[in-house]
Structure 1
């Protein structure tokens, strides 16, 4: 559906050159919710603007649904952009227009007949949960309602791709969750491909199927969200995962836990999917002569399934602890001893 091949974007800044996007290769499937995460300056905002033709790459190609966006211009490019809509962090609504008129605006630009516009707007108002607010102005809406208007407006021309530029970072946590659930619902109902950029791993965890981690203009890690949570490879990815999965990997955490549990061995377990529902600890206690204390635990849910971490204190002889760890690994659970440096 979306193919980026060796895409690079450079900006001339005085006598120097800023490489905002550096030879990025990406493939995003039809109907996928794909996340791009990175801190400020990582290049993610530039990358998403390359997807709808608002920026042209210095080199490389961007292809959407078989059409090479980087090879077209003028009216053809404007037509292609209608199939790639965008929602924004600060909503970008027209403050002098009502909810209905904001949603109708792109249809007016596209030359859609008035009767057809009215029908389409009403469908979208129902879809995003704004029934009864058609005649309200943006100043009369909450942040979540404003973003619902933005989503409805972005869907007006039946796009194939919806780009989300930090679409929830201006919202409170409860409203963020509601908007993310709406995006998942739209993805399932319409089969819409969604690409979102964010600096919040909570957003990635909650709705994305796959994620690309960006740093200094490059994609440094790419994969299924569940697998990235289980085994983050890059330091930056590990920091993002720690935002929502307090896995206890940091040396400070290990030190504190060691002070609280000075005897035995601290072991971190990682569960994926159906593993989170299995009575593994019960089987461990029944079959091995070790004392097991639960120190800390957490379960996060992703679009691909659940991801759980559990920290245990194991007491027993060295041989008994080794056998317990071996048993856990035979149950397809990642188990590792937490070591102080």
Structure 2
């Protein structure tokens, strides 16, 4: 659907040259929600503006649904942009226009006849949950409602791709969740490809299928969200994962718990996807002559499945302990046995 090769953007000032985006190579599949995460200054907002050429690439190629975006002239680009919707952090609504008129604006620019335009606007108002607010002005709307207008406006021309630049960072947590749910519903209902820029890992966890991590203008890590959560390789990725998983806090608690229980074996289990539904602990308790104490646990959901950790103390005779641990290792659950204190 979207192929990005060798994408680069530099800004030249009087004193130096700044490389904002540096040799990015990505493939984004049709109908997926692809997240790009990075701290401020990582280059992610420049990157997303390169996709619809709000910024002109210094080098590289962007192909969307077979069309080479970087080769288009201005007239061709204007037509192509109708197939690329974009929503912004601060909504970018026209304050002198009502909800209906803000959503209608891209259709007016595209020359859509009035009757057809009104029908499309009504469809979009229902889609984003704004029925009854058609004649309200932006000053009369909550932050979440304003973003819903922004989403409806971005969908007006039936785009193939929706770009979201920090679309929830100006919203409170509850409103953020409602907007993310709306984006998931739109993705499923319309089969829309969504590229989402954020600095919040919980947004990636809740909505994205795959993720790319940016640092200093480069993509330093990418993959399925669940894989990145389970096996972050770069230090910046590990910091983002800690935002959601609380790894530092859990590791400290794990160290305390495992040194407090000095008999038997202390084990941390990692459940992935379908394995989170396994009744593993009850099976072990029934099949082996051991006692099991659950010390700590957490399950986190992603679009590709659940990821859970469980810390247990298993006590019993050495032979039985060894048999129970070997049984657990024979399943698809990952096992981490703490050394004896």
Length-normalised TM-score, structure 2: 0.94
1 CA distance for matches of 2:255 and 2:302?
A: 30
Distance 1:48 1:317, change over 3 A: farther
1 CA distance for matches of 2:51 and 2:322?
A: 51
- Aligned residue in 2 for 1:194: 194
Matches within 5 A, 1:31-42: 31-42=31-42
Distance 1:70 1:19, change over 3 A: same
Q: CA deviation at 1:58?
A: 1.5
Residues 192-232 of structure 1 show CA distances to partners (whole Å, capped at 9, x for unaligned) of 10000111111111111111111121111111112222222
2 CA distance for matches of 1:319 and 1:34?
A: 48
Q: CA deviation at 1:287?
A: 2.9
- Aligned residue in 1 for 2:98: 98
Instruction: State whether residues 254 and 338 of structure 1, in contact with CA within 8 Å, keep that contact through their aligned partners in structure 2.
Output: no
Secondary structure of the structure 1 residue equivalent to 2:80? helix
Matches within 5 A, 1:43-82: 43-82=43-82
- Aligned residue in 2 for 1:232: 232
Distance 1:249 1:327, change over 3 A: farther
Q: CA deviation at 1:179?
A: 0.6
Instruction: State whether residues 61 and 70 of structure 1, in contact with CA within 8 Å, keep that contact through their aligned partners in structure 2.
Output: yes
Q: Any gaps of 5 or more consecutive residues in structure 1?
A: none
- Aligned residue in 1 for 2:107: 107
Residues 133-165 of structure 1 show CA distances to partners (whole Å, capped at 9, x for unaligned) of 000011111111110000000001111100001
Instruction: State whether residues 35 and 198 of structure 1, in contact with CA within 8 Å, keep that contact through their aligned partners in structure 2.
Output: yes
- Aligned residue in 2 for 1:306: 306
Q: CA deviation at 1:261?
A: 4.0
Q: Any gaps of 5 or more consecutive residues in structure 2?
A: none
Q: Does 1:3 align with 2:25?
A: no
Matches within 5 A, 1:103-142: 103-142=103-142
Distance 1:263 1:19, change over 3 A: farther
1 CA distance for matches of 2:38 and 2:339?
A: 29
Instruction: State whether residues 254 and 339 of structure 1, in contact with CA within 8 Å, keep that contact through their aligned partners in structure 2.
Output: no
2 CA distance for matches of 1:222 and 1:114?
A: 44
- Aligned residue in 2 for 1:315: 315
Distance 1:42 1:290, change over 3 A: farther
Q: CA deviation at 1:86?
A: 0.6
Matches within 5 A, 1:186-225: 186-225=186-225
Residues 222-247 of structure 1 show CA distances to partners (whole Å, capped at 9, x for unaligned) of 11112222222222222222222234
Q: How many residues align?
A: 340
1 CA distance for matches of 2:319 and 2:26?
A: 47
Q: CA deviation at 1:294?
A: 1.2
Considering only aligned residues, what root-mean-square deviation do their CA atoms show, in Å?
Answer: 2.0
Q: CA deviation at 1:322?
A: 4.4
2 CA distance for matches of 1:292 and 1:19?
A: 55
Distance 1:318 1:246, change over 3 A: farther
